[in-house]
Structure 1
Amino acid sequence: MAFFCFLVDQRRTVRSSKPAAGICSRCGGCVSAADMVTSTRFCYVPVHRKTWRAIICTFCGAFLKSYHR
């Protein structure tokens, strides 16, 4: 009998960010424009990487809008 364990995870990291005009519609906090990187890993080996831009609340961390490149 063979047992296979596959571990797949996805990490989102902020590459850079800068303040943006506006307020969060959920909590009323300040927002920032951030360049995000999403990397998908299979058994701790990166297999896919995607960069995109998002508008993020600096207080609650909510993604208010995303722009995929």
Structure 2
Amino acid sequence: MCLVFVCDEDERTLNTQVAPGACPYCGGVITVTDVESQWRFCFVPFYFKTRRRHTCTRCGTRLVVTS
């Protein structure tokens, strides 16, 4: 008997915008991307999470924004 669990993560880009300000490392333009993550277990979705990612377009650095 063989038991196989299939888990999968799917990421989808919802929206991309230009953020105000500049990258502290190189001075490039910062973009804000809304990303939706979906985890599936045996092809049944059981976890959704939407998050924002701030990225520099010039150097590609992911920036951490604190509130």
The verdict on a shared fold, with TM-score over 0.5 as the criterion, is: yes
1:6-59: CA deviations, max 9, x gaps? 11121222111101232374xx45321111111101122211101111202346
Determine the C-alpha separation between the residues in 2 that align with 1:6 and 1:66. 36
Q: Which moved more, 1:53-62 or 1:35-44?
A: 53-62
Determine the C-alpha separation between the residues in 2 that align with 1:37 and 1:12. 6
Question: Which aligned pairs between 1:1-69 and structure 2 lie closer than 5 A?
Answer: 2-20=1-19, 21-23=21-23, 25=25, 28=26, 30-58=29-57, 62-65=61-64
State the structure with more CA Rg.
2
Give the alignment's Cα RMSD to 1 decimal. Answer: 2.5
Cα pair distance change 1:47/1:59, threshold 3 Å: farther
**Runs of at least 5 residues in structure 1 that lack an aligned partner in the other structure:** none
**Runs of at least 5 residues in structure 2 that lack an aligned partner in the other structure:** none
Q: Give the count of matched residue pairs.
A: 64
Q: Please, what TM-score do these two structures have when normalized by structure 1? A: 0.65
Moved over 4 A (4+): 59-62
